[in-house]
Amino acid sequence: MDQLQMAILLIVFLFLILSAGVWIGLALLGVAAMGMALFTTRPIGDAMVTTIWTASSSWTLTALPLFIWMGEILFHSRLSEDMFRGLAPWMRRIPGGLIHTNIIGCTIFAAISGSSAATAATIGKMTLPELKKRGYPDDMVIGSLSGAGTLGLLIPPSLIMIVYGVVVNESIAKLFIAGVIPGLMLAGSMMLAVMIWATVRAKDIPPPDPPMSFGAKLYESRRLIPVVLLIALVLGSIYTGLTTATEAAVMGVVGALLLAILQGSFGWSVFADSLMSATRTSALIAFILAGATFLTLSMGFTGLPRALAQWIATLGLTKYQLILALTVFYIILGCFLDGISMVVLTMAVVEPMVRAVGVDMLWFGIFMTIVVEAAQITPPVGFNLFVLQGMTGKNVFTIGRYSLPFLFCMVLVVVSITVWPEIVLWLPSKL
C-alpha cells in the first residue's frame, strides 16, 4: 500500500470515528497520532506537544476568546433585548414586516459577536416570541433567522476569519474588511427574498402595527445607539490601523461591560455566566484547533497535500471549475462537520490547490466563509439548525427546509464574488 492509499485510509478512518460520536478534537488527535506512527519515526508525543504549542501560542489567536466573550456579555445582558425594540418601528411598512428584524438584527449583532450560533440564539431569543405573538408564519420566521444567523461568520469580527487567517498566515484586518461588502450583499439578498415571499403570500402576513410618527420612531431607535457605538469602536479601530484585532477585541469586551453597567443590566451573575459560556466555547474551539494542527503535520508526512495538488494540476481544471468543485465539497462536508473544523481540517490539502491555479487567498477566505455559512444550515450537522431546534422544538430537517430560500441567497452571493472578485478585494486594497 503506497502513501496516498494510506492517507486515504486515514481520512476514511477519521470519518468513521466522527460518525461514532467521538469528540472532534479527540478524533483529530487520534488519527494524527496514527498517521505519525505510520509515516515517520519521529516521537509522537514530542511532535504533538511542539506542534500544538506553536499553533496555540499565536498572539493573533487571542482575539478569538475575547470576541466570544464580548458576544456572551451582550447575550446575557439587556442590550440584546433593546435591539428588537429599536428596529421594529422601521420595519412595519416594508413587505414582510417585522420578519426583517431577524435579518437586520442578525446583521447588527454579527458585527459584535463573530459567532453564527451566538447570533442566531441571541436574535432568536428576542424576535421569536414577538413574531409568533403577532401571527407571522413559522416557515419564514424560523427560516429567516436560520439563514441570517450565519451572517455572524461573514460580517466582521468573524471567528472563522480569525482561524483562517492564522492557518494560512493572512492578515486578519484585511479579511475583516473584505467581508463587509459581501456581508451586506448577503443581508440585502435575504431581505429581498423575504419581500418576494411576502408579496407572493400576502394573505399570510398579519396587518402592520398602528403607524408611528417619525419622531416616535427616532425615540424608540435610541436603544440602538449603544450597539452602534460599540460596533464603531471595535471595527473602526481595526480599519483605521489604530489597533490589531486582538487589541480591538479587548476594547470590545471593556465596552460591552461598560454599556451593561450603564444600562443597569450588569450583575455578577451576568459576568460569571458570560465568562463561563465564553470559556466553554473557547476551550471547545481550542481543542479542535489543537487536533487539526497536529493532523495537518501528520498529513504533511503522508505527502497527500502535495500529491493531491499535483493530481488536480494534471486534471487541467480552470480556476472556476476548481471553485465549483470546492463549493460542492464544502457544502457536503458541512453535513458532517462544524465550520471551524472544516477550515482547519482541509486547508493543508486545499491551500496548495487554490494557490496553484492563481486564486487570491484573501478572496478565498471570504469565499470559504460564505460556503461554510451555507453548511451551518444543512442537516444533519448544521449548528444553526441545532440552536433553533432547541428554541422552537422543530426537527433539524424541517428547519433546513425552511432555510432553503436563504441557502439560495448564499449561492447567489458566491456566484457574484466569483464573477466580480473586486467585490471582495476593493476595500482591502484601500486599507
Q: CB neighbours of 186 closer than 8 A, spacing ≥ 6?
A: 151, 154, 370, 373, 409, 410, 413
Judged against a pLDDT cut of 70, whether residue 80 lies above it is answered with no
Degrees, nearest 5: CA angle 378-383-384: 80
Judged against a pLDDT cut of 60, whether residue 1 lies above it is answered with no
Q: Looking at the domain assignment, is residue 179 inside a domain?
A: yes
- Alpha helices by DSSP H, listed for 376-403, are 383-392, 396-402
Total of domains in the chain:
1
3-state class of 377 per DSSP? coil
Instruction: Give the length of the chain.
Output: 431
Q: Looking at the domain assignment, is residue 5 inside a domain?
A: no
Q: What percent of the chain has pLDDT over 90?
A: 11
Q: Looking at the domain assignment, is residue 137 inside a domain?
A: yes
pTM, full prediction: 0.72
The counts of H helices and E strands in the chain are: 24, 0
Mean pLDDT of 107-127: 74
Q: Looking at the domain assignment, is residue 15 inside a domain?
A: no
Per the structure, the complete domain to which residue 263 belongs is given by 25-35+42-429
The three cell numbers of residue 300 are: 504533511
What would the pLDDT profile of 361-389 be if each residue is shown by its tens digit?
999 999 999 988 887 787 766 667 777 88
Q: Looking at the domain assignment, is residue 13 inside a domain?
A: no
* More confident site: 394 or 119: 394
Q: Looking at the domain assignment, is residue 19 inside a domain?
A: no
